[in-house]
Structure 1
Amino acid sequence: MIRVRRAEIADVEAVREVGVKTWPVAYAGIASPEFIADGIAQWWSPEMVEGGIRRGITLVAVDDAAGQPDDGERIVGMVGVGREAEFWVMWKLYVLPEYQGKGIGSLLLDAAIAALPAEATQLMLDVMVGNEQAIGFYRKHGFREARSTPDRDLGAELMWMSRDL
């Protein structure tokens, strides 16, 4: 059974595992091996993952049926949301490759939106321009090209998307 809960500091290594295993699959063919290695080193380091859990909203999808010897659950996906200026931004949404296509990404996205404060009116994200699978997923869930964005240049490889809440 899959359920979503708030991440804890004790989850850092399991959350990192989601990123380390998912990034090479998610970006194969659309990003260089160097980009993937650099991204894992930068965005999935223990310090970055712990910082996201401490400062933002990090939720994890757990599979209770997977059965880990120590706690009876396996983290199979994660979503991280935080503030950038006046915007709420979804920094990460990843599901282990073997769990993709089972509705877990949708479950995590819905839980992240539900966890936002009541005054949040929009959720932003950035996505690689060539990542058609991710763009299709976000469009299916109501995201469109953003009308206003945080004051950060994404370069030519990324684009902003937003969803009104």
Structure 2
Amino acid sequence: MTAIQMAEAADAEAISHFAEASFKHTFAHLYDPADLSAFLADWNPPARIRAQIADPGYALALVRGDGGSIAGFIKMGPVDFDLPSDQPRDDAVELHQLYVAESAKGTGVARALMDWGIAWARARASTLYLSVFVDNDRAQAFYRRYGFYDVGRNAFRVGNHIDEDRFFRLDL
């Protein structure tokens, strides 16, 4: 079984570095280096992660791998993007991030974190949203297995580049 633990303030720097490395591994090839650098400079700094860990509206959980390194993490919290106008915002939460180390993919880490995130959301809301890159077929298939469905387009800015993401929704 995969042990999930709540993130603590002391984990903020490691989470920040892990998230950046995961984002780069998956998406860096899509962007001009200047756009990527501008995005990453403000995206997930340790200070923001520490503030979210301390904020009762958020929950950050992680799984550690060999040697105590992060094998995966999930960030849950309030909806902070502009949903399509036909989507309810009240009584909703967002899965902000779910990242798993390459070496941990296929080991159950993502499934354990997702199960934990959905349980966290169910205790607080009736709707769970997330945003996923339009061409990230692996992630979309994973979310669809949980019952998420596509509810619209989300413009996701990386520097001066605008990607098309899709909003996914899960009725809890």
- Normalising by structure 2, we get a TM-score of 0.78
Paired residue for 1:80?
A: 75
Deviations 1:43-100, CA, capped at 9 Å, x for gaps = 221122222222211111112xx12xxxxx2222111111125220011110122222
Matches of 1:32 and 1:135 in 2, distance apart? 25
Paired residue for 2:25?
A: 25
C-alpha distance 31-138 of structure 1, shift in aligned 2 (>3 A):
farther
Paired residue for 2:113?
A: 108
Alpha-carbon shift at residue 10 of structure 1 (Å):
0.8
After TM superposition, the structure 1 = structure 2 runs for residues 85-104 of structure 1, keeping only pairs within 5 Å, are 86=90, 87-104=92-109
Paired residue for 1:128?
A: 133
Q: Percent identity at matched positions? A: 27
C-alpha distance 134-31 of structure 1, shift in aligned 2 (>3 A):
farther
Matches of 2:169 and 2:72 in 1, distance apart? 21
Paired residue for 2:59?
A: 57
Structure 1 stretch displaced more, 112-121 or 129-138: 112-121
In structure 1, give the amino acid aligned to 2:4: V
8 Å contact 2:4–2:63 — kept in the other structure?
yes
In structure 2, give the amino acid aligned to 1:164: D
C-alpha distance 38-141 of structure 1, shift in aligned 2 (>3 A):
farther
Long gaps (5+) in structure 1: 68-72, 148-152
After TM superposition, the structure 1 = structure 2 runs for residues 38-53 of structure 1, keeping only pairs within 5 Å, are 38-53=38-53
Secondary structure of 1:157 counterpart: strand
Paired residue for 1:8?
A: 8
C-alpha distance 30-132 of structure 1, shift in aligned 2 (>3 A):
farther
Matches of 1:114 and 1:133 in 2, distance apart? 22
- Normalising by structure 1, we get a TM-score of 0.81
Q: Structure 1 segments of 4 or more deviating over 6 A? A: none
8 Å contact 2:2–2:108 — kept in the other structure?
no
In structure 1, give the amino acid aligned to 2:70: I
Alpha-carbon shift at residue 154 of structure 1 (Å):
2.6
Matches of 1:110 and 1:35 in 2, distance apart? 34
Count residues with an aligned counterpart: 153
8 Å contact 1:58–1:81 — kept in the other structure?
yes
